[in-house]
Amino acid sequence: MTALARLQDSIGFESLQYDDSVGKVSIVGAGMKSSPGVTALMFETLAEHKINIEMISTSEIRITTIIAEDRVEQAVRALHAAFSLEQPEAVEAAAHAEAAAALLQVEVEPT
């Protein structure tokens, strides 16, 4: 943050914001390329649970969302239910948890 703040005049940005209370939740699987509706189901599930997505990143086999850290456990449980995966044991926001399925996996990574 300090390094960027020093460059503010030369880069020309107005302000710098930082939020360290976020978590990353991803769904991963090689089968996603051939399974339409995966993205929609993920986003609909998070919306139904009123979990706001701060940022989205995608690749051919992964969809990653950045959400509030205190909502990570709820998001993981909701996504496991939506994709009919086994329910995870207690998941803590800062912990790394993976639950594999044949074609799809829900991941939580600390930020």
DSSP letters of 61-89?
SEEEEEEEGGGHHHHHHHHHHHTTPPPPS
Task: For 13-71, write each residue's pLDDT tens digit.
Answer: 888 888 889 999 999 888 787 888 899 999 999 999 999 999 999 998 899 999 999 99
CATH class of 19-109: alpha beta
* Terminal-to-terminal C-alpha distance of the chain: 16
Model-level pTM greater than 0.85? no
Q: How confident is the model at residue 103 (pLDDT cuts 50, 70, 90)?
A: very low
Q: How confident is the model at residue 108 (pLDDT cuts 50, 70, 90)?
A: low
Task: For 56-65, write each residue's pLDDT tens digit.
Answer: 999 988 999 9
Domain boundaries, the chain: 19-109
Tell whether the model's pLDDT for residue 75 goes beyond 90.
yes
- Enclosing H/E stretch for 19: none
